[in-house]
Amino acid sequence: MQLPQYKTITRLTSEIKGTLEQGFRFETVIGEVSNFKPHYSGHWYFTLKDTGAQISCCMWAGNNKKINFTPKDGSQIVVTGSVTVYPPRGNYQLDITDMKNTGVGDLQVAFEFLKEKLGKEGLFEPARKREIRTFPSKIGIVTSPTGAAFQDMISVANRRFPLVELILAPAKVQGEGAATSIANGIASLNEIEDIDVIIIGRGGGSLEDLWAFNEEVTARAVFNSRIPVISAVGHEVDFTISDFVADIRAATPTAAMELVTPDKMKVEAVLHDFMNNFESNLTANLMGKKDSVFRFINSPVVKTPVNIIKMNSQKLDLAMMRLENTMNTSLKDLKNRVNSAILHLKSNDHNRILKKGFVFVTQNDKFIKSSQELRLTDQFQMNFLTGKFLLKVIMDKVNSDITAFKIKLERIEKISELLEDQDLDLEQAIKLYEEGMTLSQDCLKSLQAAEVRITELKNSFNTL
């Protein structure tokens, strides 16, 4: 039995190559340039297309040196060349030997027309651009769920700020119906109350690949969004209509996510600065008051006449030591808690971190980014996942005690000066002496009250 004869792929491709290359030599065609790429070797590679079809083209360096212009995406040209076949891939292309520029292509004309129209309506005005929150809690994304751009944005968010929540509105980003799909995605995200910013975008491509972001329906959806929008379409060299309408234009989807997410390392540094500054300021304040008490206790007027005042001085000294020890222990415990929280932040993913706790400081409706911005005399707030902690009340009590303590010290110093006056009669000296003892006892009580305040502060932090 005779076996049937088969052609190999190589033979079939060779026959096709011969037919095409012999039958389509020195063809002159007109079309619009797309995806133009000049190679470092000097060769040009691009696509020539019209509304019905497209063909890959190449123009070798020896031929394009004779051309007095460089084609751009969207320009319309007339070329002369021959069809060639590349057998390893089974592709055919147009090998161009001559090129003439005839003007701008249809897509480029449509782009410029819409850009001018929307510009006149005020959609590009800088005054309407909105700022992006420094610490967003939720970020909306309108893109293809299967594209590399979405995976890149997830990776950046997890690396920089794992606490942020990403909400995807899946959309077509290329082809028929893509513009409407993008507009619907923006609208659906605007129905969610607590989204802070929306990123729309996709990876790079030709002008027609990115065209959904150049359509009017997309532009108006961006303009009408109540939530700030970042446009991140293609590569750095690609510009679309949505870039001009959006609040911010990012070169790539990855760059957009880096723009809206804070660096967790910088957040940790701010927390460390806050705790170190809080400890040093409080210690300095305490030492200043301690010095004032010691100066009064060691003054000749107080040491010489009365053993009772000596005893009270000793009590004051012991109270100050207990107060200082308690404060140091409280601050050390507080610092250990913060350091432990930071270690947990580094070692856990964002879902577990949200359950275990995170804190940021606000004062006068502003985020405190560094310790230099914090005013300890004003109310400031530590915000946790399950609540908020105000430090104003305790600081007010401490400031009140400090003010009363200062007034009593000033009176004691005045009494000391009067007792040194030799012209005082016995009755006046006794009255001043009794008043001095009373004020000394009050000073001791004030320090004991301060110690109680510190205990309250420690207990407040322990309940967090």
The fourth-level CATH superfamily of domain 110-260 is Hypothetical protein af1403; domain 2 (3.40.50.10550)
**What is the dotted CATH code of the domain comprising 9-104?**
2.40.50.140
Q: 431-437 contacts: CB < 8 A, separation 24 or more?
A: 433/305, 433/306, 435/411, 436/302, 436/309, 436/412, 437/306, 437/308, 437/309, 437/312
Q: Is the pLDDT of residue 392 over 60?
A: no
Q: Is the pLDDT of residue 401 over 80?
A: no
The upper half-sphere exposure of residue 182, i.e. CA atoms within 13 Å in the direction of its Cβ, equals: 33
β-partners of residue 45 are 37, 58
Query: How much is the pTM?
Result: 0.46
Report the side by side order of strands in the sheet with 165-170: 165-170, 138-143, 197-202, 229-233, 248-249
pLDDT of residue 166: 95
Nearest to 186 by CA among 150, 220, 147: 220
Report residue 366's pLDDT band, with 50, 70 and 90 as the boundaries: confident
Out of 4-18, 39-53, 234-248, 399-413, least confident range: 399-413
Q: What is the pLDDT of residues 160-196, one digit of tens each?
A: 999 899 999 999 999 899 999 999 999 999 999 899 9
More confident site: 147 or 461: 147
DSSP, collapsed to helix, strand or coil, labels residue 48 as strand
pLDDT of residue 198: 96
Nearest to 457 by CA among 299, 315, 333: 333
- Strand 75-86 with 165-170, pairing: unpaired
Q: What is the pLDDT of residues 106-136, one digit of tens each?
A: 777 788 889 889 999 999 999 999 999 888 9
**Mean pLDDT in residue range 426-430:** 70
Report residue 274's pLDDT band, with 50, 70 and 90 as the boundaries: confident
DSSP, collapsed to helix, strand or coil, labels residue 316 as helix
Report residue 323's pLDDT band, with 50, 70 and 90 as the boundaries: low
Computed over every residue of the chain, the mean pLDDT equals 80
Q: What percent of the chain has pLDDT over 70?
A: 75
Tell me the domain boundaries of the chain: 9-104, 110-260, 264-462
